[in-house]
Amino acid sequence: MTPSVLAGLVGAALVGLGLYGLIIHPHPLRKLLAFNLIGSGVFLVFGIIARRGAAAGFAFDPVPQALVITGIVVAFAASAVAVALILRLAAVAGSVTLDPEAWTRPKGEDAR
Amino acid sequence: MAESGTTPDGYLLVLAILLPLAGILLSFLIGGRYAERVTLCSTPFGFALACAIAFHVGQAGKPIVYAIGGLPPPLGIALRADGISAVMLIAAAVIVTAAAFYARAKFATPDGVRESRGALTFWIMLQAIWTALTIIFVGGDLFNLYVALELLTFAAVPLVCIDGRPETLAAALRYLLFALFGSISYLLGVVLFYGAYATLDIPLLAQRVQATPVVWTAAALMTAGLLAKTALFPLHLWLPPAHANAPAAASAVLSGLVVKGSFFLVLRLWFYVLPSLPTENVAAVLGSLGSAAIIMGSIMALRQARLKLLIAYSTVAQIGYLFLVFPLAAGTHTWSTIGWSAGLMQVLAHAFAKAAMFFSAGVLAEALGHDQIAKLGGAAHVLPLTFLTIALGGLSLMGLPPSGGFSAKWLMLQASIASGQWFWTLPVLGGGLLAAGYVYRILAPALSDGQVTLELPPKRSQEVIAFALTMVALALGFAPQTFFDFLEIGRPMAAGLP
Amino acid sequence: MSLLPYFDVGLALLIVGVAVWIIAARDLFASVVSYVAYGLLLAFVWIRLYAPDVALTEAAVGGGVTGVLLITAGKRLGALKSIAPEAQPGLGFKLRIGVLAALVAAALGAVMIMLPDPPPSLAPQAAAAAAGAGAGLGNPITAVLISYRSFDTMLEKIVLILAVLAVWSVGSDKAWGNTPAPFRQSKPYAPMVFLAQMLAPIGALIGLHIFWVGADAPGGAFQGGALLAAMWMVAMMARLVEPPRVDARWLRLALIAGPAVFLIVGLAGEFVAGAFFAYPPGIAKPIILIIEAFMLLSITASLPMLVAGPPIERSEK
C-alpha cells in the first residue's frame, strides 16, 4: 500500500469522523474541532492528488499543495472567528447552546 | 492577448472586483467615519462598472473573459462574465447602494467619537459582501470561488450579531457552522474534480467531464455544501433567526443577495460544468426539495408573530422557487429557455422585493418600537408609504401582475406545462396562495381602523429607498424579450447541440 | 527502507486513533489537547506525501497557532463556571448519524480509489512555466501561490483581514479602541519569561530564514510568518509585551500591508507587464520577494490578533 493510497483512506476516515462529531456534539467548540477534522481530511485528499501528480521532474503536483496551504490559513481564520463568537456568547449569556428554542424571545419583547 | 482567451474589455471584470476590495483596505486603514464615506463614494463607480460590463456583454453577444496575469487556465485563473453575471452584478450594485444609503442613519459614527465598532464593522462588511459577490458572479475557477464563498461568510456572519444581543450571537454562530460545513463540503467536491481532470476552470472542466462516479460524488458534495449555504429545505434552520434578528439593512442584503451568491454557484455547477451529463434525476430531487421549501416555508411564515421572522420564512419559501429552475431549464428543449428565464427572473424579483420588505420592516420597527404583527392595527394610516411598499413587494412575492414575481411564476407555469412536467405547477400555485395568506396577515390589521402611536417619526429617506426597490421589482414584470435573450448569452447547451 | 510501510501504517492508525479520541473524549479540554497532538502528527503525514511546504504550514498554523487558539478558548470557557451543561443526543440518533458518516467515508474512499490512472496533473505546465511566469523560482509552490494563482493568495489575505475585524467586532461598544485581553492574567513564571527571552529572538530568526529561502526551497511567507507570529505570541504570553490597541495605526498598516502591496503591484502590472497581476519579465523575482515580504508582515500581525480576541473593557482586565 503506497503512502498516497493509505493517506487517501485516512483522509476519508477523518472526513467521516469529523462529520459524525459535527452533527452529534451539542457544544459548539466540539463542533468546531470536528469541522477542523473534516478540513484536515479534505486537505489530505488534496495531498494524495498532489502526490499522484508527480510528473515532469517534480515529485508532486504543486497546484494542489498550494491550494492546501491557502485552505489551512482560511480554516484557521474560520476557527478564530468561531472561537470569538463562542467566547462572547458564553460571557454574555452564560450558555453556549445552539438550540434555537433556547433563544426564542419571551413574549412582549420586540426587535428593531 | 487573444491566445490567453482575454477579450479586450475583460479588464472591466478586474476593476469591478478591485474597487470594493480597495475600499475594504482603505476603510480598514483610515477607519473612523471615513469607512462610511469610502463605501458611499464607491457605490456609483461600482454601479457604472456593472453597467459597462453588461453593455459589453450585450454588444459582443458572448461572454467577456480575462486571464489574470495573462496566464490562461488550467495553470492560471480566468474571470468570465456572461449574461447572468452582468445582470446579477447590476442587481448587487443597486441593492448594496440602497443598503448603504439606508444604513446611514443607523450606522453613522456618533459625533465626538473617532471610530465606533458598529460603524466600522458595518461599512467594511458591506464592502466585503460586495467584493465577494462580484467574484462569485464573474469567477471562472472553482477554487477561487471557494475563497470568495469564505469571504462572503466572514462578511455576513458579523452583520448578524452586530448589535451584540445574545440571541444574535447564537444565530451568528449557528450560521457560521452551517456555512463552514457548506464550504468544506464544496471544497471536497472541488478536490475530486481536480483529481479527475487536473483543472478547476469551468469551461475546461465542461469539456472534459464525463458521467463517472467520481464526477457524481464531486457534484453531490459541492451541491450539498451550496444547499446548506443557500438554506434550501431541509438545511434552512439557520436562516430565520439570523435574518430576522440582524439590523434591517443587513437583513436586506443577506436575504436579497448573500443567499443568491451560493445559489448562483449551484447554477454554474449544473448548467455550466455538467450540462453534458444526464441530470434528470438530480433536477427532480432539487425541484422536489424546492417544492417542499415553498410549502413549508410559507406555512411557517403564516404562523409567525413577528414581522421580521415572517419575512425571513418567506425567504425560505421563495428560495424554493429558485430550485424549480433545475427541472424546468434542463437540456436543450424549446421550453428550457423559458425555464431559465423564469429562474433568473425569480432571483432578481425576490432580491429587490425582499430587500424592500426588510427595509420597510426596519422603518416600521423603528417608528413603532416593535415588530409584533398583532399590534399593527391601523398602522397603515400613520405609515402609508411603508405599507404601500410592503403591499407592492407582497404583490411580487405572491406572483400577481404586474411584477417580476408574476413574470417569474408565469414563466415557470409555462415551462412546466410545455415540458410535460405539469406537477410543478402545484407548488408554484400553492406557494402563491400561501404567500397571499401571509401578506394578508400583515396588511389586514394594518389597514384596519386601529389606533397606533408612533414612537418616532419614520425616516423619509429610508421609506423612499424601500419604495424605489419595490418599484424595481414591479418594473421587472415589464422586462422585454431582449432581456430574456440577454440572460441566455454564454449559457452552454447540452452536448451535441450548438 | 523496508521499515517504511510499517511506519506508514502505524502513523495512519495513530492518526485515526487520535481523531477518534478527539470526537469521543468526554472532556472538552482532553479533546482540545488531542487536537494539538493531531496537528503535529499530520505534519509527519505531509512529509511522507512529499509536501514539506504543507508540513511546515500544518505544523505551524494547523497544529501550533490553532492549538493556542483552542487551548485558550477551552481555558476561558472553563473559567466561566456558569456554562450550563449540554443535553447529549440519544443513542438512536448517534447510531443513525454514525451510519451516515460511515457511508460518506466509505463513498469517499471508494471514489478515491476510482480516480483516473494515469493521474492527470498540472506539474508539466508548472515546469514549463517556471522560467517564464514562474520567474525562475526554485520552489514551484511559491510560484503557484504568488504568480500563477496570485489572485487566490491576495483574496486569502483579504479573508484574514475580514476575520480580524470579525473577531474584533464581537467585543462590546464601550471596549472599542482598547487592547484585547492579555494572554495570561497572572504574573508569568520566571522560567516562562526566561524561555520567551531566549526563544523569541531565535524563533524569529528561524522564521525569517524560512521566509527567505522559500523562493527556492520549502518555505515561504506563510510558514515564516506563522513562526514569527508564534514568537510574538510567546512574548505576549510571558508578558514581555502587551497586545496592541485595535485602533493603533501601525497595527492597521501592518495588517493591510500585504494585500495592499499585492493590489498595487497587481494594478501596476496592467501598465508595466500587459495584464493585471502579471510581472515584468526581468524583475519578476525581486518583485515577488517584495510582495512576499509585505505578506510576511501581514501574516505576522494577523495571526496573533486572531488568537488575542476582541478588545475588552478596562474593568474586565
C211 half-sphere exposure, CB direction, 13 A CA radius:
26
The rounded distance, in Å, linking the Cα atoms of C149 and B49 is 24
Q: Are residues C93 and C62 in the same domain?
A: no
Of the partner residues B143, B157, B166, the one whose CB lies closest to the CB of residue A81 = B157
The chain-wide mean pLDDT, for chain B, equals 91
Window from B72-86, B127-141, B227-241, C185-199 with minimum mean pLDDT: C185-199
User: Does A38 reach chain C within 8 Å, measured CB to CB?
Assistant: no
The rounded distance, in Å, linking the Cα atoms of B379 and B387 is 8
User: Does B74 reach chain C within 8 Å, measured CB to CB?
Assistant: yes
Q: Are residues C133 and C143 in the same domain?
A: yes
Helices marked H in chain A — which ranges? 3-24, 28-52, 62-93
Range of C222's domain? 122-317
Q: Identify from B75, B180, B193 which residue to disrupt to test chain A contact, counting A C-beta atoms within 10 A and taking the largest count.
A: B180
Q: Helix/strand/coil (H, E, C) string of B183-215?
A: HHHHHHHHHHHHHHHCCCEHHHHHHHCCCCHHH
Q: What residues of chain A lie within 8 A of the CB of C108, using their CB?
A: 11-12, 15-16, 45
Share of chain B above pLDDT 90, in %: 73
Q: Identify from C4, C7, C22 which residue to disrupt to test chain A contact, counting A C-beta atoms within 10 A and taking the largest count.
A: C22
A42–B245: do the CB atoms touch at under 8 Å?
no
Number of separate domains in chain C: 3
Give residues 260 to 279 of C whose Cβ lies within 8 Å of A: none
Region C250-262: what's the mean pLDDT?
95
User: Does C76 reach chain A within 8 Å, measured CB to CB?
Assistant: yes
Of the partner residues B21, B192, B198, the one whose CB lies closest to the CB of residue C263 = B21
Tens-place pLDDT, residues B330-346? 888 888 889 999 999 99
Q: Identify from A5, A24, A101 which residue to disrupt to test chain C contact, counting C C-beta atoms within 10 A and taking the largest count.
A: A24
Of the partner residues B70, B135, B195, the one whose CB lies closest to the CB of residue C115 = B195
CA angle B489, B321, B416 (to 5 degrees): 75
Of B106, B121, B107, B103, which is closest to residue B24 (Cα–Cα)?
B121
* Residue of chain B minimizing CA distance to C278: B69
Q: Identify from B75, B157, B163, B173 which residue to disrupt to test chain A contact, counting A C-beta atoms within 10 A and taking the largest count.
A: B173
Asked whether residue C84 is assigned to any structural domain, the reply reads: no
Q: Are residues C48 and C161 in the same domain?
A: no
Region A28-52: what's the mean pLDDT?
92
The rounded distance, in Å, linking the Cα atoms of B204 and C220 is 30
Of the partner residues A45, A97, A98, the one whose CB lies closest to the CB of residue B188 = A45
Q: What residues of chain C lie within 8 A of the CB of A97, using their CB?
A: 84, 86
CA angle C295, C297, C302 (to 5 degrees): 95
C162–B121: do the CB atoms touch at under 8 Å?
no
pLDDT of residue B160: 95
A21 Cβ contact list (under 8 Å, min separation 6): A30, A31, A33, A34, A37, C22, C23
A85–B176: do the CB atoms touch at under 8 Å?
yes
Residue C196: pLDDT above 50? yes
Q: Are residues C175 and C311 in the same domain?
A: yes
The rounded distance, in Å, linking the Cα atoms of B149 and B146 is 5
Helices marked H in B198-279 — which ranges? 202-208, 213-230, 239-245, 248-253, 259-267
Q: Name, of B14-18, C244-248, C312-316, the range with top average pLDDT.
A: B14-18
Q: Are residues C108 and C128 in the same domain?
A: no
Residue B19: pLDDT above 90? yes
Question: pLDDT grade, residue B4 (50/70/90)?
Answer: low
* Residue of chain A minimizing CA distance to B238: A100
The rounded distance, in Å, linking the Cα atoms of B50 and C274 is 23
CA angle C69, C74, C80 (to 5 degrees): 130
The rounded distance, in Å, linking the Cα atoms of C45 and B471 is 59
Of the partner residues A10, A15, A81, the one whose CB lies closest to the CB of residue C12 = A10
Tens-place pLDDT, residues C25-63? 888 888 999 999 999 899 998 998 889 999 999 999 988
C111–B192: do the CB atoms touch at under 8 Å?
yes
C244 Cβ contact list (under 8 Å, min separation 6): C179, C250, C251
pLDDT of residue C2: 64
Contact by Cβ (8 Å): B149, B132: yes
Question: pLDDT grade, residue C265 (50/70/90)?
Answer: very high
Q: Are residues C98 and C177 in the same domain?
A: no
C102–A59: do the CB atoms touch at under 8 Å?
no
Tens-place pLDDT, residues C146-179? 999 999 999 999 999 999 999 999 988 888 888 8
Cell numbers representing residue C253 in the block:
498598516
End-to-end Cα, chain A, rounded Å? 61
Q: Reduced to 3 states, what is the DSSP secondary structure of residue B403?
A: coil
Q: What is the DSSP string of B423-479?
A: GGHHHHHHHHHHHHHHHHHHHHHHHSS-----SSPPPHHHHHHHHHHHHHHHHGGG-
Q: What residues of chain C lie within 8 A of the CB of A78, using their CB?
A: 163
Question: pLDDT grade, residue B495 (50/70/90)?
Answer: very low
C49–A27: do the CB atoms touch at under 8 Å?
no
Q: Are residues C264 and C229 in the same domain?
A: yes
The rounded distance, in Å, linking the Cα atoms of B98 and B91 is 11
A64–B245: do the CB atoms touch at under 8 Å?
no
The CATH classification number of A3-104 equals: 1.10.287.3510
Residue C85: pLDDT above 80? no
Share of chain C above pLDDT 90, in %: 52
Window from A8-22, B224-238, B361-375, C154-168 with minimum mean pLDDT: B361-375
C267–B217: do the CB atoms touch at under 8 Å?
no
A78–B244: do the CB atoms touch at under 8 Å?
no
Q: What residues of chain B lie within 8 A of the CB of A105, using their CB?
A: 167
Give residues 98 to 117 of B whose Cβ lies within 8 Å of C: 114-117
pLDDT of residue A95: 76
Question: pLDDT grade, residue A108 (50/70/90)?
Answer: very low
CA distance C131 to chain B (A): 13
Q: Reduced to 3 states, what is the DSSP secondary structure of residue C180?
A: strand
Region B217-238: what's the mean pLDDT?
94
The rounded distance, in Å, linking the Cα atoms of C270 and C277 is 7
Q: What residues of chain A lie within 8 A of the CB of C51, using their CB?
A: 47, 50-51, 60, 65, 68
- Residue A102 or B363, more confident: B363
Q: What residues of chain A lie within 8 A of the CB of C143, using their CB?
A: 62
Give residues 198 to 217 of C whose Cβ lies within 8 Å of A: none
Predicted interface score ipTM higher than 0.90: yes
Q: Are residues C4 and C54 in the same domain?
A: yes
Question: pLDDT grade, residue B494 (50/70/90)?
Answer: very low
The chain-wide mean pLDDT, for chain A, equals 85
CA distance B23 to chain C (A): 11
pLDDT of residue B497: 38
Contact by Cβ (8 Å): C45, C11: yes
CA distance B249 to chain C (A): 17
C94–A24: do the CB atoms touch at under 8 Å?
yes
User: Does C145 reach chain A within 8 Å, measured CB to CB?
Assistant: yes
Region B482-494: what's the mean pLDDT?
84
CA distance A108 to chain C (A): 26
Question: pLDDT grade, residue B52 (50/70/90)?
Answer: very high
- Neighboring chains of C (3 or more beta-carbon pairs < 8 A): A, B
Q: Are residues C34 and C183 in the same domain?
A: no
- Neighboring chains of A (3 or more beta-carbon pairs < 8 A): B, C
CA distance B497 to chain A (A): 34
Q: Are residues C11 and C153 in the same domain?
A: no
pLDDT of residue C316: 55
Residue type, B493: M
Query: Which residue, of C26, C52, C79, is where some domain finishes?
Result: C79
Chain A residues with CB within 8 Å of chain B CB: 15, 22, 28, 31-32, 35, 38-39, 42, 45-46, 49, 52-53, 61, 63-64, 67, 70-71, 74, 77-78, 81-82, 85-86, 88-89, 92-93, 97-98, 100, 102-103, 105, 110-112
Q: What residues of chain C lie within 8 A of the CB of A70, using their CB?
A: 145, 152-153, 156
Residue B349: pLDDT above 80? yes
Residue B188: pLDDT above 50? yes
Region B306-310: what's the mean pLDDT?
93
Q: What residues of chain C lie within 8 A of the CB of A42, using their CB?
A: none
C92 Cβ contact list (under 8 Å, min separation 6): none
The rounded distance, in Å, linking the Cα atoms of A90 and B29 is 31
Q: What residues of chain C lie within 8 A of the CB of B115, using their CB?
A: 176-177, 247
- Residue A5 or C57, more confident: C57
Residue B481: pLDDT above 80? yes
* Residue of chain A minimizing CA distance to B245: A111
Handedness of CA C295, C298, C302, C303 (dihedral sign): positive
Of B76, A64, B45, B204, which is closest to residue C277 (Cα–Cα)?
B76
